[in-house]
Amino acid sequence: MYSTGGIADRFAHLVAALEQRLSGPLPAAVRFWDGSELGPGERGSATDTIVLKNRRALTYAVMRPDQLGIGRAWVAGDVDLEGDLYRVMAAGSRLYGFDFTNLEKLDALRTAARIGAIRIPPPKPPSVEAKVGGRLHSLRRDREAISHHYDVSNEFYRMFLGPTMVYSCAYFAGPDDSLEEAQTRKLDVICQKLRLKEGERMLDIGCGWGSLMIHAAANYGVRVVGVTLSREQAAYARKRIVEAGLADQCEVRIQDYREVSDGPYDKICSVGMFEHVGSSQLDRYMQTVTDLGLPGGLALHHGICRQHEKDDSPNTFIERYVFPDGELHRVAKVVAAAEKAGQEIRDLESMREHYALTLRRWVANLEDTREAAIAEVGPERERVWRLYMTASALAFERGDVSIHQLLVALPGEDHPLELARPAFVREEIQAPAAD
């Protein structure tokens, strides 16, 4: 480890202790606002450098010594990186679960105080941090949480999602597929798993920008009702539906799934939605799907699941900046809730590697359009999405989280499934236009 004097020297002994306990070097060098540096190996050997631009960067981290404090400094632009974000975050995964001793924490606080990085009151969080209130998973609070994430800018989402405007895991036949090819394939796989037939009535819970609705109506001749809590999404989806000439087959509602009462539907799907439901509401969600479905009909639940037992902290970066009130469930809990509601599990597919590839594409798209994205939504929000999607790609690659498609048959009648499980991937499919 090297240190170049100045502020870096004041923290050198703590970093040396950290490296010793980790049995390895830091994932990157650190440069302070006075120009001093400390880092692994010899000076100049570090590939990546974390830059603390001012005292407030350290204040955020010291006053909240968890990922939320560091996240606030990043979003505010007080912390930056010269190097590769993927590489630093991948190497930094060695720090998961690490904690300083109480004496080391006290030492760090004293050092921070001496250089003026302790402030009472602490600096306010960046303006894009979520502010939701009221009873958890009430109708009003869920609308606020969804609005925080989705009512940002349809144009901003188009910049990284691409022309299909699909905000969930794509389905790749191979790693060289384009994002548009893979997302269109995913839409078609869902339609095939549901065995959609012309004239059927389908409910799309959490319909987003309408891509699945348009694909199902145009390619399978079904009538689709889509519900979303996002006004921006609803407006965009309605415009696309009219332009596609499908207004007589598709209806978009700004409505909570708990407010839908016009069943039965032949087929029901929810893509990237049950992560928003909450642990306390998961049984209710599954029972609602059963109640809205035609007896013997099919439903498909597509969502992210966590691989670990530990409940998520309410003070994570993603909770405060990306998905307020979002909760990831174990896939076993999702299956149990479905079965409790009388749904018969017919097919379960893990798509973890597909989501890692999807996220890599989204990050690359955001990188290519960064200046336009900043002009559209501001620098704070662009930094939120860049960090969150990079971290998520790595989490899927490590296997910390996964994503599953769960096909179920609804109770009351015999299901329409054939004996042999068919192949679901077709090559001749038409992507829905974005505009």
Q: Which of 208, 152, 149, 162 is nearest to 374 (CA)?
A: 152
List pLDDT tens digits, range 270-311: 999 999 999 999 999 999 999 999 999 999 999 999 987 766
**How high is the pLDDT of residue 354?**
97
List pLDDT tens digits, range 21-65: 777 788 899 999 999 999 988 888 889 999 999 999 999 988 887
Kindly state whether residues 62 and 210 are assigned to the same domain.
Answer: no
Residue 419 forms part of a structural domain = no
Residue 426 forms part of a structural domain = no
Task: Yes or no: say if 435 and 210 are a contact pair by the CB < 8 Å rule.
Answer: no
Kindly state whether residues 42 and 179 are assigned to the same domain.
Answer: no
**How high is the pLDDT of residue 255?**
97
| CA–CA distance, 285 with 93 (Å, rounded to integer) | 34
CA torsion 133-139-145-151 (nearest 10°) is -130
Residue 192 CB contacts under 8 Å (≥ 6 apart), including other chains? 422, 424, 426
Kindly state whether residues 223 and 306 are assigned to the same domain.
Answer: yes
State the CATH number of the domain containing residue 44: 3.30.1050
Residue 52 forms part of a structural domain = yes
Residue 429 forms part of a structural domain = no
Q: In terms of residue numbers, what domain contains 332?
A: 139-409
**How high is the pLDDT of residue 420?**
84
Residue 154 forms part of a structural domain = yes
State the CATH number of the domain containing residue 247: 3.40.50.150
One digit per residue, the tens of pLDDT, for the chain of length 435 reads 899 999 999 988 888 887 777 777 888 999 999 999 999 888 888 899 999 999 999 999 888 878 889 999 999 999 999 999 999 999 877 766 666 677 877 888 888 888 888 888 889 999 999 999 999 999 999 999 999 999 999 999 999 999 999 999 999 999 999 999 999 999 999 999 999 999 999 999 999 999 999 999 999 999 999 999 999 999 999 999 999 999 999 999 999 999 999 999 999 999 999 999 999 999 999 999 999 999 999 999 999 999 877 666 667 899 999 999 999 999 999 999 999 999 999 999 999 999 999 999 999 999 999 999 999 999 999 999 999 999 999 999 999 999 999 999 999 999 889 988 888 877 656 555 555
**Strands 344-350 and 265-271, how do they pair?**
unpaired
pTM for the model stands at 0.92
Kindly state whether residues 6 and 89 are assigned to the same domain.
Answer: yes
DSSP string computed for 5-67: SHHHHHHHHHHHHHHHHHTS--SSEEE-TTS-EEESSSTT--S-EEEE-SHHHHHHHHHSTTH
Kindly state whether residues 53 and 166 are assigned to the same domain.
Answer: no
Kindly state whether residues 108 and 156 are assigned to the same domain.
Answer: no
Q: Give me the number of domains the chain comprises.
A: 2
Residue 209 forms part of a structural domain = yes
Residue 427 forms part of a structural domain = no
Kindly state whether residues 107 and 154 are assigned to the same domain.
Answer: no
**How high is the pLDDT of residue 313?**
66
Task: State the DSSP code for 154.
Answer: H
| Burial bucket for residue 23 (CB in 10 Å: 0-12, 13-18, 19+) | exposed
Q: Residue type at 203?
A: L
Kindly state whether residues 363 and 221 are assigned to the same domain.
Answer: yes
Residue 176 forms part of a structural domain = yes
**How high is the pLDDT of residue 416?**
83
Kindly state whether residues 81 and 189 are assigned to the same domain.
Answer: no
Mutual orientation of helices 231-243 and 211-220 as an angle, nearest 10°?
Answer: 30
| CA–CA distance, 271 with 417 (Å, rounded to integer) | 21
| CA–CA distance, 423 with 6 (Å, rounded to integer) | 64
Neighbouring C-alpha atoms within 13 Å toward the C-beta of 148: 23
Kindly state whether residues 263 and 303 are assigned to the same domain.
Answer: yes
**How high is the pLDDT of residue 324?**
93
Kindly state whether residues 171 and 102 are assigned to the same domain.
Answer: no
Kindly state whether residues 203 and 295 are assigned to the same domain.
Answer: yes
Question: What tokens were used for 313?
Answer: 């902290």
